[in-house]
Structures are given as C-alpha cells and as structure tokens.
A = this chain, B = another copy of it.
C-alpha cells in the first residue's frame, strides 16, 4: 500500500468517524453540557485510536457497524481523559489541539462533568438497542465494553495517571516508566487494536500478534511524544511544549537521551512490524502504515 492510498483510506474513515461522533455527541444535552462535550471531542486530534480500530477491523473483515461504534467509543474515552488531565488540579494546561482547553472555555465544573458524561457515552455508544440498524450482536457489545472498561480503569489509563501524578519530581527507572506508560497511554492504544479484532474472527495466534502490535506501537507512541515535547514548538504540537521538563517529569528523553529515545522508537516500530508478520493475517497494510505514522509524526 502506498502512503497516498493510506491517506485516501484514512481521510474517508476519519470523515465517517467525525460524522458518527457528531451524531452521538448531541449539542442539545442540558445546560451547555453538550456544547462542552462537542468542543472537547469534535474537530480535533489525530484520531489515531479510531484509525487503529478501523484498520484492525478491516484486517479481520470485522462487523462494520461495531467497528465504527468502537472507534467513536475509544475516542470519547481518550477525549475525556484529555479534558480531565488539563484541569487545574491535574496538569493545569490551557492549550490543547491549538485551542483553549475545555475548562478555560467552559469552567472547571462543566469540564469535569463533560469528561464524566463522555465516559458514560462511550459505553452507551457500544450498547445500542439490538433493533437498531447497525447494532452489533449482544455478545460483541459485551466484549467491546469489557476491553474498553479494562483499558480505561486502574489496570490501564486511570492507573497510569495515578502513577504519573505520584512521579512528579521523583526519578523513575526504565521499568517503572514503562509500566506507567503501558497503562497511561499504551492500554487504550492496545485496546483500540483489540476492539477492532473482536469485531471479526481471529485465531489465538493472530489475537496475540495483534496484542503485541498494539503494545509496541502504544509504547512507541509515548516515546515519540517525549521526543516531540523537547524538539517541537507549541504551535506545531497544538499543545504546550516542554511541559514535561517544566513539571520535572521523568521521560524517555530524560532517561535515555534524545538519541537513545530515537533508537527505542525505531526498535518498537520494528517489533510492531514483526508482530504483523506473525499475525498471518492477509492484509495488514493499513496497520503497517499506521505504525510508520506513529513513529514518523511531527506533532
């Protein structure tokens, strides 16, 4: 698959995701809550997680309605986590995706509620009434909820955040840093791949290979994030650059140096590609391209 073919695929898919999110996140929720939610999730972000869901679902010929719902759900979880992360009691950040953060725009209380409501909405989107046209079968709905809930909670994202909170100003060795990132960002990225995979039927071997792929790019994503935080300006990133150093947070760059971090990203990229080979799935070209993009991105 050429990069141009990938771009055409991803543009079409992102349009479908945007339309679906626009449908699910209603602006008429009470007292401005819907507006805060829409501000926090629409028209922004790289949408890496939805693309991982959809590329994996394509590789396993998965249920299309389920995959689109899973793509929206995982992005809702990601977007809610950013809103809560940016709050004054957490990272106290004012810039996200090139815009004022949700609490700057709507106030702290509304931002917290918007995040809370988006987490509930993620599970709502996964569990439509069975008579709805694109509704996934009930067993698939349950499996999608299971994967998303585990990746979002103490074993995953929320647990990683707690480690992150506790680590400010404290040196972490590499295993501890890796544990934090595997939970904080890796779990949801890996879950994106696995939610795509459960939309179809895969062998245990392919399932494990996809889990390995998701794990490798999940960690690669964070290593590259750490690199970009020191090499890029805020206007390129669309968020505040240099804040890890400002907050005295341990990063792959502070631990391995810039060259060491780049080597690590390359090694994780190679692991991800090897996992795709092991999956023995027919068409993993989209997933291979996504791994390239995770490592080669500039923002």
Contact = CB atoms under 8 A, between A and B. Distances in A.
Contact of A31 (B89, B108, B139, B166): B166
Interface in A150-174: 150, 152-154, 156-163, 165-166
B109 A89 contact: yes
Interface stretch (A13-21, A50-58, A118-126): A118-126
A29 to B, nearest CB: 4
B116 A84 contact: yes
B149 A29 contact: no
Given A138-B138, A138-B142, A138-B143, A150 B162 contact: no
Nearest to A121: B153
Interface string A220-243: 000000000000000000000000
Contact of A113 (B109, B129, B162): B162
A154 B84 contact: no
B127 A165 contact: no
A112 interface: yes
Given A84-B112, A149-B123, A117 B33 contact: no
A91 to B, nearest CB: 9
Contact of A119 (B116, B139, B165): B116
Interface in A130-154: 138-139, 141-143, 145-146, 148-150, 152-154
Count of identical protomers in the assembly? 2
B165 A117 contact: no
Contact of A139 (B115, B122, B139): B139
B145 A110 contact: no
Contacts of A128: 146
Given A89-B108, A121-B149, A141-B145, 5 more contacts: A34-B154, A123-B145, A124-B146, A138-B139, A141-B142
29 contacts: A30-B154, A30-B162, A30-B163, A31-B162, A31-B165, A31-B166, A32-B162, A33-B154, A37-B154, A81-B116, A87-B112, A89-B108, A110-B162, A115-B116, A116-B158, A116-B161, A117-B159, A119-B119, A120-B153, A120-B154, A120-B157, A122-B149, A123-B145, A124-B146, A128-B146, A138-B141, A139-B139, A141-B142, A141-B145
